[in-house]
Structure 1
Amino acid sequence: MALFDPTILQSGEYHDWLVQGFILSIQLTVISFAFALPFGALVAVMRTSTSRLLRAVGTTLVESIRNVPLLAHLLFWYFAFPELLPEGLREILYANNPEVVCAVIALTLYSGVHMAEDIRSGIRAVPATQLEAARSLGLGRAAAVRLVLLPQALRASVPPLLSQTVNLWKDTSVATVIGAAEMMYQAARVETASFRSLEAFTFATLAYLTVSLLISAAAYLFQRRYPVRTAA
């Protein structure tokens, strides 16, 4: 008997499980990124604000979230957070795939604060004269930040943000601990049902590797096409 029999993954129920897990992992990554990026940008702006209160709030968010393991975040949002909700909201949550909802919340917050630090570095890389020029044209500070500072900061932050996206993609695997039916959950399910651990976990490993390399390649190509130029 061959050590690796790929036919078990090419047809039938087990193949469907793995494909469903892969699709959910992609969905978790995309949805979490869509929420994490604006959250990270907001926190980065708070961290670089002239207001002491906003800087304090931004710093508190970053330090309190990134210094707690992702696993603890997932367990908190899945087991503890629903208990804090009114009964009506709790029932709505439990009726709408709570594992995925709580995984998205945890991944969004955890990735968002790491993205915030990358964006904050991008903001610092933008010459102060850019903001001053925008203000001299009559823009208020909020408008100058939104229309002038942030677009340049985000462009400078693209390579590290793509690296954070790779981390986000890999971190979706931790959602298996709360029962989200992502790729690692489905690979373990296939292994339990068929005892074909080699095929199941090889599929998962190659899927994680392939997507990670594609995102890393996108970061490399962007950096080659749009190199970051620092002000003299």
Structure 2
Amino acid sequence: MSMTDRRSGATAVTEKPKTAFWNDRDVRAVIFQILIVLGVLAVGWYLVHNTLANLEQRKIATGFSFLGREAGFSIGESLIPYSAADTYLHAIWVGIINTLLVSVIGIALATVLGTVIGVARLSTNWLVARLASVYVEGLRNIPLLLQLFFWYSLVSEALPPVRQALKLVPDYVFLSQKGLRVPHIVDHAIYGWMGLLVLVGIIGAFLWRRAAARHQEATGKLRPVFWPTVGLLIGPAALLWLVTGAPLTLEKPELRGFDFRGGGTLSPEMIALLIGLVTYTASFIAENVRAGILSVPKGQWEASRALGLPNGRALRLIILPQALRVIVPPMTSQYLNLTKNSSLAVAIGYPDLVSILNTTINQTGQGIEGVALIMAAYLTVSLSISAFMNWYNKRIALIER
């Protein structure tokens, strides 16, 4: 608002009236945020102080010094060497590796099975579509813990005893109540270098695929991708293996007394856990896949048929790449659910992270520290999966021009 000075003709701008700071919305927002932060810190300090005081009153030691002490308990299944004389830290590391092993294998198998079931639900074959629907609706509505109990009972009771083990591959692969026995490859120094060459081949295959895509965009001509990728992945490692004399020694499982000796083992607990996690999670992934495919306009199907593409190739090359933009975000949640649901392994005796830390807590009495380690481990794994899936989601997102 302004007024004109009649004598000079100058225009003077009146000052805006000042308001009290407590009436300023921006200032109030900052004050409220500071008060909330202080309140949270105060509550946290009270809980921590009260907990430490109670622990001290009961003469319960705190801290993570127990991790360096001898564990004193055995672990039935481990990918790395372990004995009861190792430390609690080493035992926890075994549990983390076992959890990651189940999670990685479970995610891969659940993705494949869920995709197949999701596509089957859209099949024009009435029987296939109905069987897929029964699978999805049945498994999604039964608690996972009950399914794990069912699969564990089936694996441990329906299979024959060790001395009557099923010979899936005579003299090599046996299935019994003690689990699946398979040959074990004896370690050799050259295998480490072969693994390094495979990693280099993965990088080379990635660069080759990018170069082929750029070449196609620039010239419109296709470059071969599949066979060069296969060659880069296994070619250098296979050549090194052949040059060094093709070292390969298999340690076969042999029945001695009442159990097998030698070879590798998949325990009944791990088999039951994998079957339960994979079949349960796949029922949710199937719905994500079905929703993604249905989100693609029908015109894409019609265009692919007009080009003469078979339904299978059209689904793989045209429909699914577009559907991924709808599938990937909810798929991330299912991967996280599978990883966290693996903690139910403690119910059937598989030595995962929760099971091993539960034993550690019972022996040491360090309940708070043990639960904190479990939370930190699952938080780290979950955030890593989320970060990777978010990166992949950005790569496949549509870029508007």
Q: 1:109 to 1:117 in 2, by over 3 A?
A: same
- Distance in 1 (alpha carbons) for counterparts of 2:155 and 2:137: 20
Structure 1 gaps of 5+ residues are none
Q: C-alpha displacement at 1:62, in angstroms?
A: 0.3
Q: C-alpha displacement at 1:116, in angstroms?
A: 0.8
- Contact kept, 8 Å, 2:324 with 2:396, in 1: the verdict is no
The answer as to 2:313 corresponding to 1:173 is no
Q: Which amino acid aligns with 2:176?
A: I
Q: Which amino acid aligns with 1:105?
A: I
- Contact kept, 8 Å, 2:325 with 2:393, in 1: the verdict is no
Structure 2 residue matching 1:218: 3-state secondary structure: helix
The answer as to 2:184 corresponding to 1:100 is no
- Contact kept, 8 Å, 1:49 with 1:55, in 2: the verdict is yes
Q: Which amino acid aligns with 2:150?
A: F
Q: Trace 1:21-40 onto structure 2 (pairs within 5 A).
A: 21-40=95-114
Q: C-alpha displacement at 1:71, in angstroms?
A: 0.2
Aligned to 1:190: 360
- Distance in 1 (alpha carbons) for counterparts of 2:281 and 2:152: 17
Query: Out of 284, 301, 326, which is 1:156 matched to?
Result: 326
Q: Trace 1:1-232 onto structure 2 (pairs within 5 A).
A: 4-9=62-67, 12=70, 13-85=87-159, 88-89=165-166, 91-92=175-176, 94-95=178-179, 96=265, 97-224=267-394, 226-227=396-397
Count, aligned residues: 229
Larger-gyration structure (1/2) = 2
- Contact kept, 8 Å, 2:159 with 2:177, in 1: the verdict is no
- Distance in 1 (alpha carbons) for counterparts of 2:376 and 2:99: 14
Of 175-184 and 143-152, deviating more is 143-152
- Contact kept, 8 Å, 2:120 with 2:129, in 1: the verdict is yes
- Distance in 2 (alpha carbons) for counterparts of 1:11 and 1:144: 59
TM-score (norm 1): 0.89
Q: Deviations over 1:170-226 (max 9, x none)?
A: 000011100010010011011122222222221111111121122233344444554
Q: 1:225 to 1:154 in 2, by over 3 A?
A: closer
Q: Deviations over 1:128-184 (max 9, x none)?
A: 222222222222223322332223323431111111111111000011100010010
Q: Which amino acid aligns with 1:116?
A: A
Of 87-96 and 135-144, deviating more is 87-96
- Contact kept, 8 Å, 1:175 with 1:182, in 2: the verdict is yes
- Contact kept, 8 Å, 1:156 with 1:228, in 2: the verdict is no
- Distance in 1 (alpha carbons) for counterparts of 2:156 and 2:116: 26
Q: C-alpha displacement at 1:126, in angstroms?
A: 1.3
Return the structure number with greater strand share: 2
Structure 2 gaps of 5+ residues are 1-55, 71-86, 167-173, 180-264
Q: Deviations over 1:102-142 (max 9, x none)?
A: 10111000111111111111111112222222222222223
